[in-house]
Structure 1
Amino acid sequence: MNIGIVTFSQSNDNYGEVLQCYALYKYVQSKGHHCFLLRYEQTPYTNFALKAFTLLSLITNPQRLFSLLKKRRGKMIPHATDNTDRKFFEFRSKKMECTAPLTKNEILENPPEADAYICGSDQIWASPDPIMYLSFAPKDSIKCAFAPSFGGLTPNAYARLLIRKYIKDFDFVSCREMSGVKLCRELGREDTCLFPDPTLMHNASFYSQIAQEPPVGDKYILLYMLGNKSEFDIQAVYDFAHKEGLKVIYITGQNRVENYYRTTNATVEEWLGLIKGAEYVITNSFHGTVFSLINHKKFLTIPLVGAYERMNVRIHDLLSKFKLNNRLYRDSLSPIKESIDFEYFDKEQQRLIAFVDQKLKILRQS
């Protein structure tokens, strides 16, 4: 079967975004299918109805509106400008078969041919973009949603109408968070089930095949922080590391620029290697948390605040699933030294993989 995958993948500094895409690609490939990544280049909404939805969302969410205004006035974390040494483009090009970059109109008018289409994980359903809901797929093709996330979105009446319309014709629907499952069930898809992020469909040995061992002689803490706002004092990590006799390796992503501490850029392979070799991991990233678990690392996850607080639902769901709510940062780094029952995590991960394999009968090769 020839399968086209649509998901977020074009970031130049968000490791989780690229790796969730890669993990889904390799999972589908492992089932004997040929697959390709549909390189969708999103542009600002041009459709009047979608513009109206965005405006209504801002009006009904004052925190988000205030955050956006602050960002435009330059009071939020500034944007990074040069990530060429992270080589994300090279990773995508070497590891996955991709289409040429395509705009919304190009996809709607002439979609790449496939027997089935999958819209993948990450927060691709945080806005009612028809491409992310596979509205372009021909009627005789299979449409499958593999763990997309609404990112904590509470859709207004218009958005609910759009989402109901989009998911009606799917052959299979799953979501990454329980809140998304409930929303889809409310909108007519009572068969929606909970799926793990595709990065959890592979164990540490799979990622070790591409991880690059870091040239770090000293033991270290890996600090990985995305640009979404967190109330967290970075200096606390350096103070903790000093007491423990550890070095700090600090990687930023998602346009975060650090003005006070030295940061390290890394390729995807190096990032995986740095997590694998770390003594501890501290992060505000969902996928930073996932890969800490996969690599059996003691970690703490920093919750987001303000307009981004709604995105914490993915972290809460993930930690609750593996009985690790104590790994959420609460004003102290000391819990990071507590032991983690990774045997339980490994068993649960294998159960999730078996569950997904059983549910996706529709994609089994005949």
Structure 2
Amino acid sequence: MKKAGIVTFHQALSYGAKLQAYALQQFLQYNGIENDIIDYTCHYMYTRNIRPIRVGTQHKLKSFVRSLITMRQTGIDRRKSVAFRKQYMQLSRPFNAENISEAADEYSLFIAGSDQVWSPICVGFDPVYFLNFAKPEQKYSYAASIAVKELPADKKEAYKNLLTDFQEFSVREQSGANIIKNLLGRDAEINIDPTLLLTEEQWNEIAKPVINEPYIFLFNVRKSIKLIDYAKQLSKKTGLKIYYLQKERIHKVKGVTYLDPVMANEFVGLIKNAEYVCTNSFHGTAFSVIFKKKFAVEYQHIGGRNIRSEELLNQLGIKNHEITNDFYPNPDEKVDWDNVEKILSVERKKSQNYLEKIKENL
């Protein structure tokens, strides 16, 4: 049987990374493309979340305790990630940098993406995510992200060499399409994140409830005082408890109930069953849209701006949901969900048409 191989960040300790991998696999299956997620272990990705216990010269006890908490959280996260992959993903045999070239003889073609697989800094600029092991006729992408508006000057030649023989390009952002056009003189399609390819009904099939009472779900990828304050004000107004899922639980926040890391389908369930969602995460925003939730999102945070969430809500015509220094949105603001679904249906059809071109070459 002819099969496609998906090359993506399925092993990352990120709910969005796991769920976009799952979603792309499912969407390919729905459209008649048999596939495996290539079970490639990137050494850089595997080790970056392993942190030694640190004891500095100052605040020794505090540093030690924070390291212990981080190690515990990472351990739980890893176990939950492995469990999700085993239960919900169809994987290839294991591959690493030494044997990945063997995959070229086991699959008809490969799809790089989604996620930041072409980032110049993410995962140590691993060429496997550029399909360097595959034959030219096997190379495709779907919603691959370069994650920068301009390439570093010292990497332009490497990008040109790695991408020049791709058969078709699909990227996630306009900036990525611009880079490919400037670098190779070729056009790239812009397609939506795979999580948005699946409907609410399809996500309901795996969403698992975690909490048995009405609640506010607070999820951030970077700690934000503003986001926490907004959730607390909402809690005071509604009388609902706040359940807080945080990437690294090293800052104690009063007035919230902390959650340990969950399986990715439980993350979906946490958003599905929430009365309100407060987030600065793209996938927190995306699933709030999928499940038509009452939500608020913060774009600006320490380390940058959540451009992806901003662009998504603008694309879908959803306004007045951003938390800023000057504005706390009304989470009960009406959204024209029928119009949102129409836009998503058009984008799903666009992605379907792109994948038909890939299917012809299986």
TM-score of the alignment, normalized to the shorter chain, above 0.5: yes
Given residue 75 of structure 2, which amino acid in structure 1 is its aligned partner? D
CA contact (8 A) 1:137 1:143 kept: yes
Q: Residue 239 of structure 1 corresponds to which residue in structure 2?
A: 233
Offset from partner CA, 1:98-128 (integer Å, 9 cap, x none): 2344322321466562101001111111124
- After TM superposition, the score normalised by the length of structure 2 is 0.83
**Inter-partner Cα distance in structure 2 for 1:282 and 1:37:** 31
Q: Does 1:31 align with 2:16?
A: no
Q: Report how far residue 362 of structure 1 moved.
A: 2.2
Q: Report how far residue 276 of structure 1 moved.
A: 1.0
**Inter-partner Cα distance in structure 1 for 2:97 and 2:185:** 26
Q: Report how far residue 21 of structure 1 moved.
A: 0.3
Distance 1:236 1:230, change over 3 A: closer
Q: Residue 297 of structure 1 corresponds to which residue in structure 2?
A: 293
Q: Report how far residue 333 of structure 1 moved.
A: 3.2
Equivalent residue for 2:113, pick from 91, 104, 120: 120
How does 1:268-347 map onto structure 2 within 5 Å?
268-306=264-302, 308-309=303-304, 312-331=306-325, 332-347=327-342
**Inter-partner Cα distance in structure 1 for 2:171 and 2:95:** 25
Given residue 9 of structure 1, which amino acid in structure 2 is its aligned partner? H
**Inter-partner Cα distance in structure 2 for 1:85 and 1:121:** 21
Q: Does 1:130 align with 2:127?
A: yes
Q: Report how far residue 86 of structure 1 moved.
A: 6.5
Q: Report how far residue 153 of structure 1 moved.
A: 5.2
Q: Residue 74 of structure 2 corresponds to which residue in structure 1?
A: 81
**Inter-partner Cα distance in structure 2 for 1:153 and 1:101:** 34
Q: Report how far residue 192 of structure 1 moved.
A: 0.6
Q: Report how far residue 337 of structure 1 moved.
A: 2.5
Q: Does 1:104 align with 2:97?
A: yes
SS in 1 for 2:98: helix
Offset from partner CA, 1:69-88 (integer Å, 9 cap, x none): xxxxx7xx964333259622
Aligned length: 331
**Inter-partner Cα distance in structure 2 for 1:276 and 1:198:** 18
Instruction: Work out the percentage of aligned pairs sharing the same amino acid.
Output: 30
CA contact (8 A) 2:170 2:190 kept: yes
Q: How big is the alpha-carbon RMSD for the aligned residues of Structure 1 and Structure 2?
A: 2.6
SS in 2 for 1:221: strand
Q: Residue 11 of structure 2 corresponds to which residue in structure 1?
A: 10
Stretch of structure 1 that moved more, 328-337 or 347-356: 328-337
Gaps of 5+ in 1: 46-73
Distance 1:132 1:304, change over 3 A: farther
Q: Residue 178 of structure 2 corresponds to which residue in structure 1?
A: 182
Q: Residue 355 of structure 2 corresponds to which residue in structure 1?
A: 360
Given residue 303 of structure 1, which amino acid in structure 2 is its aligned partner? Y
Higher relative contact order (CA 8 A, sep 6+): 1
